[in-house]
Amino acid sequence: MNEKYSVQKNDPYRLAYHMMPPKGWMNDPNGLIQFKGVYHMFYQYHPYSTEPVLMHWGHAVSSDLVYWKHMPIALTPDQFYDKDGCWSGSAVDNDGVLTLMYSGNIMDSEINRHRQVQCIATSVDGVNFNKYSKNPVILAAPSDGSYDFRDPKVWKYGDMWYAIVGSGKDGIGKALLYRSSNLLEWHYVGVLAQSDGSKGSMWECPDLFPLGDKYVLIVSPIGMEGHKNIYMIGEMNYEDGKFTPQYWGDLDYGPHFYAAQTFSDDQGRRILFAWMSMWGHPNPTKSDGWAGCMTLPRVLTLSPDGSKVKAQPVPELKKLRQKHFCANNIALGEEKNNILNDIKGECFEILAEYQISEQDSAEFGIKLRCSVDRNQETVVGYRSDSRQLFVDTRKSGIVEGDRYVCDLELIEGKFLKIHIFLDRSSVEVFGNEGEVSISSRIFPDPTSINIELFTTKNGIMLTSLNIWELASIW
Ligand code: FRU
């Protein structure tokens, strides 16, 4: 057990308005659902240390996706079939019974490695869960898969339940499709979709859902160089159980966005959360007794031509807005860049809209979490010659950063919108109303609280700037 397990009082990095565990380790969002009008989030959780071991399902509820209340642990690894972890999975509402399907992880000494089986747990009150007496409901992967066989995502289509389970074989990541009439007896249908050889060797956390008039498959591919969490847009054929992708892309371009899962709510929205951290990344909050947090909830939509998935923060987040600063029509240039001198803090929402002319070749944007001597800063900006949005965390703080870049065309060839959510140890940046996003954890000094505008060329038009201080939800 971790000695520094207890939560520290002077914890500079505890998030103010993101879902995070009270203490201990957190990774993937699990079992996202709106059940009897309440939003439920479960998550991979080790409550007794800050290490990713012996996963439980932590649980939190919300009535608005903004304020969260921690609930008792939903699943504990206490059965022969999940003794080495209740791994990721999903939730459905089966006629008033909240039903979880998750992977039981077993360290199998005979084969000397982990393998997973699929299990069911149910709850009527949404708080207390019973594991099904005949678990596991899927004992082993079919020959299309391997011992890596996990993260079932369940949904209903017509009268039938469907589940996809992530796997991989011979270096090819796969989503395996199952069908059931009762959530207990599952029949293998076949490979729903698989990597074309370039998209990873194992697909973790697959999720398939309708969006607009298409279907979208998202996966967290292991071994896909330069990509962490991708989407594929295409057609779903329930007759043969095949998903045919037509387009693909990245869900986010930052370093800390993984294992995304979606659900639909009573407003018909498709909402996504991801784990805002990543395997193998240093986590300085461990000494404060916790590790990991979620992204903000994002609403997914298809771009008008159907070739891209867009993701925007849910409008409910406006509830967090406090003190407001607003300015219009600022021609960026040295004398104007210090208009934010009086705004200081760690938690902001910033909406900046720019107008750029063809000949403007510049790099401009906003520097956040700046120290007085400017040795520390997190830079959010746009490079107009290469049409790229970027977040530069190389000088952000105590963890080594990088410059994270993605392509972003201007709207009508001249307008740009940058929407930023800054929390105590994170920054999420959305470009042009969710066309792209870049999410990163940052670990600045608590005294680095300045903001400033910057440009490499005078005259870029900041047509409107709105900044809100954001409230804490805890
Ligand atoms: C993804 C993942 C899942 C697995 C879980 C274990 O981050 O590796 O595939 O179920 O985490 O915590």
Q: What mean pLDDT value characterizes the chain?
A: 96
Domain boundary among 273, 288, 315: 315
pLDDT of 4: 44
| CB of 88 shorter than 6 A to ligand 1 | yes
The predicted structure's pLDDT at residue 359: 73
CA of 121 to the centre of ligand 1 (A): 18
User: 151 CB less than 6 Å from ligand 1?
Assistant: yes
Percent over 70 (pLDDT), the chain:
97
Residues 460 and 330 both lie in one domain:
yes
How much distance in Å is there from the Cα of 383 to the middle of ligand 1? 36
Residue 1 has what pLDDT? 35
Q: If pLDDT is split at 50, 70 and 90, which confidence band does 208 have?
A: very high
Residues 326 and 266 in one domain: no
Q: Residue 159 Cα, ligand 1 centroid: separation in angstroms?
A: 30
Please give the pLDDT value at position 10: 77
30, 56, 87, best to mutate for ligand 1 pocket (most atoms within 8 Å of CB)? 87
Over residues 420-429, the mean pLDDT reads 98
Mean pLDDT confidence for 229-247: 98
Q: Is 55 in the pocket of ligand 1 (CB under 6 A)?
A: yes
Report which secondary-structure segment, H or E, holds 74. Answer: strand 69-75
Counting from 1 in the atom list of ligand 1, the atom nearest the Cα of 204 is: 9
- 157 burial (CB, 10 Å; 0-12 / 13-18 / 19+) is exposed
Largest CA distance in the chain: 71
| 87-101, 167-181, 336-350, 459-473: the lowest-pLDDT one | 336-350
Choice from 25, 27, 257 to test ligand 1 binding pocket (greatest atom count within 8 A of CB): 27
Residue nearest to atom 9 of ligand 1 (CA): 204
Residue nearest to atom 8 of ligand 1 (CA): 204
159: its two tokens: 């009268």
Task: Tell me the C-alpha to C-alpha distance, in Å, between residue 441 and each of 59, 277, 330, 340, 423.
Answer: 23, 7, 30, 23, 9
With a cut of 50, say whether residue 446 has pLDDT above it. Answer: yes
**Lowest mean pLDDT: which of 4-13, 117-126, 206-215, 371-380?**
4-13
Based on the fold, state whether residues 201 and 61 are members of the same structural domain. yes
Pocket test for ligand 1, best of 30, 119, 204 (most atoms within 8 A of CB): 204
Asked if residue 174 and residue 51 are part of one domain, the reply reads yes
Phi, psi of 318 (to 5 degrees): -60, -25
Q: Do 32 and 155 belong to one domain?
A: yes
Confidence of residue 431 (pLDDT cuts 50, 70, 90): very high
CA 122 – CA 128 distance, rounded (Å)? 8
Model confidence band, residue 232 (pLDDT cutoffs 50, 70, 90): very high
Ligand 1 centroid to residue 273 C-alpha, Å: 15
How far is ligand 1, taken at its centre, from the CA of residue 22, in Å? 20
Domain harbouring 225, CATH code = 2.115.10.20
Atom of ligand 1 nearest to the CA of 55: 12
Q: What is the mean pLDDT of residues 398-417?
A: 97
Task: Indicate which atom in ligand 1 lies nearest the CA of residue 103.
Answer: 10
Assess whether 191 and 171 both reside in one domain.
yes
How many Å apart are CA 80 and CA 303, to the nearest integer?
A: 46
Q: Which domain holds residue 333?
A: 321-470
Does 340 lie in the same domain as 289? Answer: no
- Each residue of 268-321: pLDDT tens digit? 999 999 999 999 999 999 999 999 999 999 999 999 999 999 999 999 999 999
Same domain, 308 and 336: no
Answer whether 28 contacts ligand 1 (Cβ < 6 A): yes
Q: What's the helix, strand, coil split of the chain in %, to 5?
A: 5, 55, 45
Note whether 193 and 221 are within 8 A (CB). no
Site to substitute for ligand 1 among 114, 151, 207, 224, most atoms within 8 A of C-beta: 151
pLDDT of residue 2 exceeding 50, the answer is: no
Provide the pLDDT for residue 125. 97
Task: Report CA torsion sign: 214, 241, 101, 108.
Answer: negative
- C-alpha 84 – ligand 1 centre gap (Å): 12
- Quick one: 363 and 309 in the same domain? no
CB 440 within 8 A of CB 427: yes
Contacts (Cβ under 8 Å, ≥6 apart) of 17: 66, 317, 320, 347, 423, 470, 471, 472, 473
pLDDT in tens, 333-379: 866 767 999 999 999 999 999 999 877 789 999 999 999 999 999 99
- Whether the CB of 440 sits within 6 Å of ligand 1: no
Ligand 1 nearest atom to the CA of residue 88, by list position = 10
CA gap 316, 430 in Å, rounded: 16
Quote the number of domains for the chain: 2
| Gap between the Cα atoms of 128 and 182, Å rounded | 21
Residue 306 β-bridge partners: none
- Point out the catalytic residue in the list 28, 151, 288, 423: 28
Check whether residue 245 and residue 371 sit in a common domain.
no
Residue nearest to atom 1 of ligand 1 (CA): 259
Domain boundary residue among 285, 315, 345? Answer: 315
Q: For ligand 1, is residue 204 a contact (CB within 6 Å)?
A: yes
Instruction: Give yes or no: 28 in active site.
Output: yes
Ramachandran sector of residue 126 (left: φ over 0; alpha: ψ -120 to 50; beta: rest): left
pLDDT reading at 3 higher than 50:
no
* Model pLDDT, residue 8: 54
Residue 329 and residue 296 share a domain: no
Q: How far is the CA of 455 from the centre of ligand 1 (A)?
A: 41
Work out the average pLDDT over 89-114.
Answer: 97
pTM score of the predicted model: 0.97
- Report residue 6's pLDDT band, with 50, 70 and 90 as the boundaries: low
Q: Is the CB of 202 under 6 A from ligand 1?
A: no
Instruction: Please work out, in degrees rounded to the nearest 5, the angle formed at the alpha carbon of residue 170 by the alpha carbons of 166 and 173.
Output: 30
Residue ending a domain, among 315, 333, 354, is 315
Does residue 227 share a domain with residue 347? Answer: no
CA 380 / ligand 1 centre spacing (Å): 30
CATH number assigned to the domain comprising residue 337: 2.60.120.560
